[in-house]
Chain A
Amino acid sequence: MSISSLKEARRAPGAEWLKNHPRFLEKAYLLSKSIIAKTYPWMQKVSPRLANRFMVRSEEVLKGWAFNCQMCGQCVLHSTGMTCPMNCPKNLRNGPCGGVRHNGNCEVVPDMPCVWVQAWQRSQQMTVYVNDIQVIQAPVNRSLQGTSSWANMLDGKDTQTPKGW
Chain B
Amino acid sequence: MDLVSNSRLERVLKSGRFAVTAELDAPDSANPDDVYKNALVLSEVCDAINATDAAGANCHMSSMGCCALLTRAGYEPILQVGCRDRNRIAIQGDLLGAAAMGVNTVLCITGDDVSNGDQPEAKRVFDFDSIQLLQVVRTMRDKGVLLSGRKLSTKPRFFIGAVENPFAPPYDWRPLRLAKKVQAGAQFIQTQYCFDMPRFKQFMQRVCDLGLDKQVYILAGVGPLRSFKGAEFMRDRVPGVWIPDELMHRMEKTPKNKQTAEGKKICIEMIQQVREIQGVAGVHVMAYRQEEMVADIIHQAGLLPRRPYAAG
Contacts and interface: CB of A to CB of B under 8 A. Distances in A.
Interface of A: 1, 89-102, 104, 107-108, 114, 116-117, 120-121, 134, 136-140, 142, 162-165
Interface SS of chain A: loop
B173 interface: yes
B41 interface: no
Nearest to B165: A98
A93 B129 contact: yes
B170 A136 contact: no
Contacts of B143: 164
For the complex of A and B, 5 pairs with smallest distance between CB atoms: A163-B149, A98-B165, A99-B239, A94-B131, A100-B168
Contacts of A114: 169
Contact of A107 (B113, B132, B172): B113
A98 B163 contact: yes
Contact of A98 (B110, B136, B139, B149): B110
Interface residues of B, number: 44
A138 B115 contact: no
B140 to A, nearest CB: 8
Nearest to B83: A90
Nearest to A135: B180
Interface SS of chain B: loop
A139 B132 contact: yes
Contact of B180 (A90, A100, A136, A139): A136
A139 B128 CA distance: 6
Interface string B93-132: 0000000000000000010110110000000101111111
A1 B168 contact: no
A2 B126 CA distance: 20
B197 interface: no
A100 B145 CA distance: 34
Given A92-B110, A93-B129, A164 B170 contact: no
